[in-house]
Amino acid sequence: MLTVNIQALSSEDKATAWVLPFTAVGISDISLVGGKNASLGEMIRALAAQGVRVPNGFATTAHAYRTFIRQANLEAPLRELFRTLDTENVKQLRSVGRRARALILATPFPAELETAIASAYADLCQQYGSDLDCAVRSSATAEDLLDASFAGQQETFLNVYGTEAIIEACHKCFASIFTDRAISYRQIKGFDHLNVALSVGVQKMVRSDLACSGVMFSIDTETGFKNAVLVTGAYGLGENVVQGTVNPDEYFVFKPTLKQGFSPILGKRLGSKEIKLVYDLGGTKPLKNIPVSEEERERYCLEDAEVLELARWACLIEDHYSSQRGLYTPMDIEWAKDGTTGELFIVQARPETVQSQKQTNLLRTYVLEARSTVRITGRAVGNLIGQGRARVILDVHHLDQFQAGEVLVTNKTDPDWEPIMKRASAIVTNQGGRTCHAAIIARELGIPAVVGCGQATTTLHPGQDITVSCAEGEEGRVYAGLLPFRIEEVTLEALPETRTQILMNVGNPDEAFGLAAIPCSGVGLARLEFIITNQIQVHPLALLHFDQVEDEAARQQITRLTRAYSQKIDYFIEQLSHGIGMIAAAFHPHPVIVRLSDFKTNEYANLLGGKGFEPEEENPMIGWRGASRYYDPRYRDAFGLECRALRLVRETMGLTNVIPMVPFCRTPEEGRRVLAEMASHGLVRGENGLQVYVMCELPSNVICADQFAEVFDGFSIGSNDLTQLTLGLDRDSAQVAHLFDERNDAVKRMVTLAIETAHRCGRKIGICGQAPSDYPEFARFLVSLGIDSISLNPDTVLKTTLEVAAMEAQLRT
């Protein structure tokens, strides 16, 4: 029976069957076997030939459930139970749910249903082996819709084996259609409790208790960026990841170049993975949680090749469902690795129901207007800000203490918590990652959540006023007090076309996916210093020559940061490539100009382990910085790490839209030496479309622009340094800071000469300094000169685009 094809059964046969094998159902059968089971059948039928592995199984039908309810005359007493239900009253909800489940469990299954389940289980055992261990999962007929996931509302039972145990688990699943959380969720979504039927899926277990498992999304869960797959994983069975019991590993993969055959892992984050859920062999329960060894915790649970295979499957699944539905359908997918065979499997797939439903022409930004003491940090969920009094609840039995508008602070959540989660202003948890239950429900409810904080329930005090900010990048922060914030909304109507390219300055890779929603033509300035300072934190020479680092505190911090890497330099290369890759992917295929590192010596010295490798300079501003370091024997090897990271981004990730830019290049000869150094690491100008730009920030860059044009492919004016060096002042000096003004005639003459010379030499030239963001008249001046591009801070892109369009129109008349 388990090999029956979807075409082999008539629709009438399927509608009256007690049990159907997964091979006999597809996505059109949600009304028969629920979303979860229909999806499993669909993937087995349509995607197995493309290499997507899904464990086989069978499903009880909606007909079986409705026949059970009808023959037992349960509809009338159940309707009476729900008639006056107020789901806001937690005590009443619990009472109604308990009595409804008791009615189901006290009523035996029809003999025909038990026989059908037993027969289907026997067939499954024949395929995989006797007394097969199975996952028994509930699948409601209203489940996995585009606007309501119903995920986790009913029960799941793992490591169930033997005919009697399988039937008993199916009976418990029937009863779980009336869990408190399921009742509350249906009422919120407007579904009639008795119109929703329950199917049960019985599926071969994947022995991920001996390996790892997790969840992945074919869309970025926080920003809705469509071109990335987010994979999360931890050791053991997947319930810990889904429920947020552990902080999992996270990986980002870029879909467009993955489909072209590249290996674009954009980012990796090591989770703590403290425990794992395994079989309780010889014990009294089917499952138990055990500690994970320190050695396992300090390494990723998946190899890079496995991450890429899962991401490819996510693309196949998303493409198939989008084709079936006739509209873009990002997917929420559960995966598992079998520790006995080493194979990966997909065990569930459902449409993502939050980002895919958002209004795409409205850009809403939350901005914190003041800051206070940061009480605790974790993973940001939601790009939102919420605030209220902290309500610390450690046990589900105390949910009735929660008051509407409070911030829920707890260890973790599961579906039993949903009746109060919908009344919270924000959620803060000790455990969990971006795909845990608390994160998924917070997104669906439109409230911020900070998950995986570690000690939130002891650090935050009951009744304390707090502000929960998820609007400052990947890190979520909980501040003391009720801080002022504002919400900015911009409608992204069709912006006018401009001859002048409007680019964006992007510093933080964590913000790149969100910033990509702002219409622009690419990135005019991505600074490596931000990535090195915030994500790497270590001086590159301290990684190359760790034995020479004398500061013991720095040695300990470097050891901790590089713990997952066999060689310390791999930490620098991978982290830098991930930072560059996130920005490049966010704006792909538009150009992303990446300025090579431009720390001054005092800034380099502040990096971990840096003091022993940096000289002291009287004036670092015009000292050993930029290009002069790259070919210097004292720093050449460190620059080589930057080159290797860039090559990885372009060649391994396939992000050839990256254009490296050399800063503070004093002479054309110095530029040639830098290009030679880059070429020695495989970055050859002109090969694989590689262009190299130079910053135009020194008077020599302007005066000898024709000579620099022979060395480089383009220029980007750095108006800050050009103004300082043209006027001979340090804008950080209070005594002369008032003289700093990009609009000074001397500076404007330098800019004019640079643009005219670059164009005469056939080179592109743009500007990435602050001036056009601050001064509309300076932007107009640049447009009048015919500058090729203006790169702006994100908050001024839309406004300046409109101004530039108006300026260009005036200049044409």
Residue with the larger pLDDT of the pair 283 and 390: 390
β pairing state of 501-506 and 789-792: parallel
Contact call for residues 81 and 100 (beta carbons, < 8 A): yes
Query: What pLDDT does 360 receive?
Result: 67
Q: What are phi and psi of 29, to 5 degrees?
A: -105, 25
**Position 376, amino acid:** I
Q: How much is the pLDDT for 529?
A: 93
Question: In sequence order, what are the residues at sequence separation of 6 or more whose Cβ sits closer than 8 angstroms to the Cβ of residue 297?
Answer: 272, 273, 274
Other beta carbons within 10 Å of 115: 14
ω before 589 within 30° of 0 (cis)?
Answer: yes
452-466: b (≥16 Cβ within 10 Å) or e: bbeebbebbeeebeb
Note the pLDDT tens digit of each residue in 155-198: 899 999 999 999 999 999 999 999 888 888 787 777 888 888 89
Q: Which two tokens stand for residue 302?
A: 């998946």
How far is the first Cα of the chain from the last one, in angstroms, to the nearest whole number? Answer: 77
Among the options 170, 212, 436, 768, which is catalytic? Answer: 768
Q: Phi-psi region for residue 537, left (φ > 0), alpha (ψ -120 to 50) or beta?
A: left
State pLDDT tens for residues 622-648. Answer: 999 999 999 999 999 999 999 999 999
Q: Going by C-beta distance under 8 Å and a sequence separation of 6 or more, which residues neighbour residue 342?
A: 211
Going from the C-alpha of 47 to that of each of 226, 315, 343, the distances in angstroms are: 21, 11, 16
Global pTM exceeds 0.85 = yes
The number of beta carbons lying within 10 Å of the beta carbon of residue 187 is 18
646: its two tokens: 């860039």
What secondary structure, in 3-state letters, does 615-630 show?
CCCCCHHHCCCCHHHH
Write the burial class of residue 793 (CB in 10 Å: 0-12 exposed, 13-18 middle, 19+ buried).
Answer: middle
pLDDT digits (tens, 9 = 90+) for 8-43: 566 777 888 999 999 999 999 999 999 899 999 999
Mean of pLDDT values over 212-233: 95
Question: H helices of 270-386, where?
Answer: 294-297, 304-325
- Tokens, residue 578: 């991930």
d(CA 382, CA 66): 39
pLDDT at 774 over 80: no
pLDDT at 525 over 70: yes
Cβ neighbours of 98 (radius 10 Å): 12
Query: Looking at residues 277-304, what average pLDDT do you find?
Result: 92
Q: How far apart are CA 197 and CA 204, in angstroms?
A: 23
Output the pLDDT for position 143.
47
Residue at token pair 């014990």: 283
* pLDDT score for 146: 43
Per DSSP, the chain holds a count of helices (H) and strands (E) of 31, 30
pLDDT at 5: 45
DSSP states along 30-89: HHHHHHHHHHHHHHHHHHGGGT-----EEEE-HHHHHHHHHHTT-HHHHHHHHTT--TT-
Does residue 142 register a pLDDT over 80? no
Residue 287 corresponds to which tokens in the numbers above?
């499952």
pLDDT in tens, 713-741: 999 999 989 999 999 987 767 788 788 88
Spatial contact of 774 and 719, defined as CB atoms under 8 Å apart: no
Residue type, 459: T
Average pLDDT over residues 87-101: 89
Pairwise CA distance, residues 485 & 198, whole Å? 44
Tell me the H-state helices in 160-205: 163-175, 180-189
Q: How confident is the model at residue 359 (pLDDT cuts 50, 70, 90)?
A: low
Confidence of residue 62 (pLDDT cuts 50, 70, 90): very high
pLDDT exceeds cutoff 60 at 7: no
- Reading the block at residue 700, the tokens are 């020599």
437 in catalytic set: yes
What is the mean predicted confidence (pLDDT) over 486-495? 79
Q: How far is CA 21 from CA 8, 32, 144, 172, in A?
A: 12, 12, 19, 20
Q: Could you give the angle at the alpha carbon of 9 between the alpha carbons of 5 and 13, nearest 5°?
A: 150
Which ranges constitute the DSSP H helices of 335-472?
418-421, 437-445, 456-459
Residue 135 tokens, joined: 């996952």
From the number of C-beta atoms within 10 Å of its C-beta (0-12, 13-18, 19+), residue 270 rates as middle
Tell me the C-alpha distance between 435 and 214, whole Å: 9
pLDDT at 150: 46
Asked if residue 298 lies in contact with residue 564, where contact means CB atoms within 8 angstroms, the answer is yes
> What percent of the chain shows pLDDT beyond 70?
97
Most distant CA atoms of the chain, gap in Å: 94
Q: Which of 63, 193, 437, 539 is catalytic?
A: 437
Q: What is the pLDDT of residues 587-606, one digit of tens each?
A: 999 999 999 999 999 999 99
Model confidence at 149, pLDDT cuts 50, 70, 90, reads: very low
**Residue-level pLDDT at 720:** 87
Helix H or strand E encompassing 14: helix 11-16
CA–CA separation, 708 vs 260, rounded Å?
36
pLDDT at 650 over 90: yes
Q: Can you tell me whether residue 138 is helix, strand or coil?
A: strand
Cα four-point dihedral sign 447, 453, 457, 460: negative
768 flagged as catalytic: yes
Residue 506 confidence (pLDDT) = 93
